[in-house]
A and B are shown apart, each in its own frame.
Chain A
Amino acid sequence: MNAPVPGLKPTTYIGQDTPRANARRLLAGRGQYVDDMHLPRELHAAFVRSPHAHARITRLDLSKARQARGVFWCGTGHDVAAVVSPWVATLTHFKGLKSAPQYAVALDRATWQGEAVAVVVAQTRAQAEDAVQLVEVEYETLPAVTDMETALDATTPVIHPDLGDNLAFTRSLDTGGVGDVFAGAHLVVEDTFRFGRHTGVCLEPRAITADYDASEHQLTVYLANQAPHMMRDIFAKHLDMPESNVRVIARDIGGSFGIKVHVYPDEMAIVGIAKLLKRPIRYSADRLESMSTDIHAREHRVKARMAVDKDGRILAFDMEDLTGIGPYSVYPRTSAVEGNQVVNLTGGPYDFRHYIASLKVVFQNKTPTCQYRAVGHPIAVAVTEGLVDLAAQKLGMDPAQFRRLNLIPDDKYPYTSASGLKFEQLSHHACLDKLLKLMDYPKLRAEQAALRAKGIHRGIGLAALIEVTNPSALFYGVGGARISAQDGCTLRLEPTGWVTAITGVTEQGQGTEGMIAQVVASAVGIPVEHVRVITGDTDVTPYGGGTWASRAAGIGGEAALQASKELKSNILALAGAILKRDAAGLDLRQSQIVERATGEVLQPLSETARIGQYRPDTLPREFQPQLSVTRQYGQRDWPFVFTNGIQASYVEVDPDTGFTRLLKHWMVEDCGTIINPMLVDEQLRGGIAQGIGAAMLEEILYDADGNLKNATLADYLVPMAAEMPDMVFGHVETPTKSSELGAKGAGEAGTAGAPAAVMNAINDALAPFNARVTDQPFTPERLLKALGKV
């Protein structure tokens, strides 16, 4: 007897650890990075870079270089300026932000060590580098502005005399009455926090191949970049070409972390030279160039204080942030954003009403800084959480209890913070509860106390955080930046029943393609293996912003969901026409057209698609199947959709050596709907590793003359696997109502909170010695100094 065939039930990949298709390809070495692409007739470029932080070029002689073997072309800043117009990186919503015109290659003056002053094009990169050594440049060195603390002093030279001073941007925020609150407070804690300048170290360096076809006046740029449409607009504008004649292709990207979302002068030069020479030109930054020309970030000094009442309730914050950004604001997102975020985010997780803040953003003769993963967050979180732990310590309160008292209650949303941020719905208390359980907080405290009695000094540090994700047009668009605030997804039903998804958000190695495939497969009703995802080609994908500010899943995922729903509806209409049934009674499950009520299989999707493509003659005259759809989505309900989370770090400090061992790290995070738990956890894990880099290792060192002292990976210390603690994750899911998918970003919360958690853990371990550190990274020497040992 045959068993009855069970009907198919709806299935979903949302919330599943679905392996991503591109992981196998990348592991097999079949990635298509820019450096893997080769074009006929291509030439290689290498740059002559200033050895001085600030110098006038008094003589530049290319004649010997031009004679060198394999050399095709050499040029100065003036030669490149003939084809690439300069830019000034300001946006109107940062009132008063100023910067100077920046050229692709310096004209007559270099303003940081590493700025390009000439370029050589040759048959091979080695020949180009040989010829670089033959370029004769004489410099008149100029005083370098390196210390941000004195950048605004009257005696300090002004880097751009036309601007009048070295102040790029300033901002003040005052909710009023803050002075009185501090004056009447039971306790005021204050401290100064310093943050080492660092950079995002990508496995794949910046890379570009530009190909100009004069016959069609067409420029094609293969670029390791997060925002291909933004770059297309910029290339068109500064090469004076119609945007439609520019194509930007960004296939596989080997990590970006915000590094690859900016305009780099050397990349602009390559595009210009390709147009000038009418030949493909390629260039990859080598590691030395990456360290001195990729954007830097995070050089801040924050003086801050916090007022608390006798019960331990936070009353007010007062902070003053000083940050140095190099000689130019970086195009087109500007270098005002990081400091602005620090002002916005300080105190962010806590319920208080009084806040006063001031920000100064100054120019220096160092590598330009701009947005790097978790822009501003690690600074704001460290300042806030550092003061929170200090207050708890002074009051003799447990730091977890202090947070429970002060975190914005989970039932108090929507909520507007003292700095004016609008929160839809956060879950600080649910996350705190889950974290304390996950780490068995009381047991850990008991262990810490027991070991301390034996002379083993361990510390526990907590750090609550909020993260900016799913930005609206308020991030850049309102200021005049031509950076798309929306994204689109096109779906195409193939005759086989497979679906091709073409999305504007980009893959940086983090799993965007896998995430899109999961959303599409779930919402259309097909196996995830039947979805093929295409990203990163401005000739092909819908116009969109790309991947930054933790927006790919929240914005790109929602566009994919809406497109999927539309495609499914079209497929069911087609099936209804074929089967002569009402489409409303049909569903698509596991690539089968089924009866919605029973799940009874009526027709394989492959058959529906075949008829739709090849035999529309069999369909009613008035029915036209629509088998490709596009949907766009821009988040418009909130300026940003905030996420929240909390981290904990457990460390052991050796008071004799000042060495810190990271024993364990926990994080509970709420990024709304989780599409792929494994990918979310890996985002958090990688983010925490980068945050640990900031806390423990990474700092770009300059001498007083602006010479970069640690431009190799032997000297600039990035976090490595052996030093990473085990990390444990937990999640709370509060979907955003601003989209149907409900997903928020998860890309930056790890980086945002890890430095603060580690700092608090170290200071907890140092507490018996009456010692405290607040300058990142927390090197052995800084601990030894705090301990009075050196």
Chain B
Amino acid sequence: MKAPPFAYRRAENLTAACALLDAHGGNARILAGGQSLIPTLNLRLSQPELLIDISQIADLRGIRVGANEVVIGALTRHVDIERSADLARLCPTLVEAARHIAHPAIRNRGTIGGSIALADPAAEWPAAALAFNMTFTAASSKGERTLSATGFFKGLYETALEPGEVLKSIHVPLPAAGGKAAFGELTRRSGDYAIAGAFVNANLSGGRLSGVRIAFFGVATQPVLAVGAMQALEGTGGDAAALSAARARLEADLDPIADLYNSRATKLHLSGVLLGRLVAKLFA
């Protein structure tokens, strides 16, 4: 289980990384925390000619609180999010989710940017990005552009990033007053990829939900916004009837696919159970 031969360059800054990406076209891969890429290489599932190591670019790392958003540098590690006092105060659901990403050794190296750019359908951050309406800044030699999480995830390991682009930062809108969120995932062992996982984000005012956003992970080929279920819950008090209506929409929303151990029916059933529990959490 040895990686095939590859060249390695450490980029000193984002400009250099983009230049290397341009020079090597589709044959180069960005190396951040390496927690997905390195196993892929060792399993010889991927044979890039060049790895561009961006891990030493200091300005890609860190969590900064702005007026309306929290900006998370793409190289910010899962453990940094898990331990961030700012996020614990402003977006506690993200901190809670971080603890469910694999194991400490992986959280110590893996990065939020790597997770989002890879778009593993079973990963927590892509779904969080959808649920919290995050935006991303992508950089290339042509400059920077802003992408919305909605529409960013296009399929299995497919994103809206263009060739030559590097994910630079993740922008999390600060929750409004009355903002409520819940996270949950069902795993057979702690640290495993979830059979079904979800983030629910909404405003709760006068016992009614509004601006409901629900994103699932681990159920389909990409993270999914459960649009039908969101509509079914919008304006309701999360009561049994509303929940039942929301659950009824999940099959069309998620179109779940079986994994090694769980059929489509099981995935759907568990997604429904999870949704009910997370909505209940909003009202807890």
Q: CB within 8 Å of B: which residues of A?
A: 125-126, 129-130, 133, 286-288, 656-659, 696-697, 701, 709-710, 712, 714-715, 717, 719-720, 722-723, 779-781, 784, 789-790
Contacts and interface: CB of A to CB of B under 8 A. Distances in A.
14 contacts: A286-B1, A287-B1, A288-B1, A657-B186, A657-B273, A658-B266, A709-B260, A714-B193, A715-B260, A717-B189, A722-B190, A779-B262, A780-B188, A781-B263
Contacts of B262: 779-781
B1 A784 contact: no
Provide the main secondary structure of the chain B interface: loop
B282 interface: no
Given A657-B270, A790-B266, A790-B269, A779 B1 contact: no
A617 B192 CA distance: 71
Interface string B204-226: 00000000000000000000000
Contacts of A717: 188-189, 192
Interface stretch (B2-10, B67-75, B170-178, B244-252): B2-10
A719 B273 CA distance: 25
Interface in B264-278: 265-266, 269-270, 273
A375 to B, nearest CB: 26
Contacts of B191: 720, 722
Contacts of B189: 697, 717, 719-720, 722-723
Contacts of B190: 720, 722-723
Contacts of A719: 189
Contacts of A658: 266
Contacts of B192: 717
Contacts of B43: 288, 712
Provide the main secondary structure of the chain A interface: loop
Contacts of B193: 714
B261 A779 contact: yes
A719 B192 CA distance: 12
Contacts of A286: 1
A628 to B, nearest CB: 46
Contacts of B154: none
A129 B3 CA distance: 9
Contacts of B1: 129, 286-288
B195 interface: yes
B281 interface: no
A720 B105 CA distance: 15
Interface residues of B, number: 24
Contacts of A790: 263, 265-266, 269
A126 B47 CA distance: 14
B44 interface: yes
A658 B189 CA distance: 14
B44 A659 contact: no
Interface centre among B1, B192, B263 (most CB of A within 10 A): B1
Nearest to A205: B1
Interface in B181-209: 186, 188-193, 195
Given A133-B44, A722-B190, 10 more contacts: A129-B1, A656-B273, A659-B188, A696-B188, A714-B193, A719-B189, A779-B188, A784-B269, A790-B263, A790-B266
A709 B1 CA distance: 18
Contacts of B269: 784, 789-790
Contacts of B44: 129, 133
B270 A780 contact: yes
Contacts of B263: 781, 790
Interface in B1-55: 1-5, 43-44
A397 B192 CA distance: 40
A130 B260 contact: no
A473 to B, nearest CB: 41
B186 A133 contact: no
A786 to B, nearest CB: 12
B104 to A, nearest CB: 11
Interface centre among A125, A710, A789 (most CB of B within 10 A): A789
Contact of B266 (A712, A723, A784): A784
A710 B3 contact: no
Nearest to A699: B261
B273 A125 contact: no
A225 to B, nearest CB: 22
Contacts of A657: 186, 270, 273
B115 to A, nearest CB: 15
Identify the 9 closest CB pairs spanning chains A and B, nearest first. A286-B1, A126-B2, A722-B190, A790-B265, A781-B266, A656-B273, A129-B2, A790-B266, A790-B269
B5 A130 contact: yes
A64 B270 CA distance: 51
Contacts of A126: 2-3, 5
B195 to A, nearest CB: 7
Contacts of B266: 658, 780-781, 784, 790
A717 B3 CA distance: 24
B47 to A, nearest CB: 9
A133 B44 CA distance: 10
A709 B186 CA distance: 22
B260 A710 contact: yes
A583 B2 CA distance: 64
Contacts of A133: 4, 44
A780 B43 CA distance: 29
Nearest to A697: B188
Interface in B155-176: none
Contacts of A697: 188-189
A735 B56 CA distance: 63
A712 B1 CA distance: 11
A529 B191 CA distance: 42
B187 to A, nearest CB: 9
A784 B262 CA distance: 11
B34 to A, nearest CB: 16
Nearest to A69: B5
A770 B1 CA distance: 48
Contacts of A709: 260
B107 to A, nearest CB: 14
Contacts of A287: 1
Interface in B221-238: none
Nearest to B264: A790
A781 B193 CA distance: 16
Contacts of A722: 189-191
Nearest to B274: A657
A710 B262 CA distance: 13
Interface centre among B188, B262, B263 (most CB of A within 10 A): B188
Contacts of B265: 790
A256 to B, nearest CB: 21
Contact of B2 (A125, A712, A715): A125
Contacts of A696: 188
A418 B243 CA distance: 58
B122 to A, nearest CB: 10
Nearest to B268: A790
A694 to B, nearest CB: 14
B210 to A, nearest CB: 28
A350 to B, nearest CB: 34
A11 to B, nearest CB: 44
A125 B191 CA distance: 31
Nearest to A289: B1
A675 to B, nearest CB: 34
Contacts of A130: 4-5
B16 to A, nearest CB: 28
A133 B266 CA distance: 39
Interface centre among A715, A720, A781 (most CB of B within 10 A): A781
A723 B188 CA distance: 9
A789 B186 CA distance: 16
A696 B192 CA distance: 14
A126 B265 CA distance: 43
B120 to A, nearest CB: 11
A348 B44 CA distance: 49
A174 to B, nearest CB: 39
B69 to A, nearest CB: 34
B269 to A, nearest CB: 5
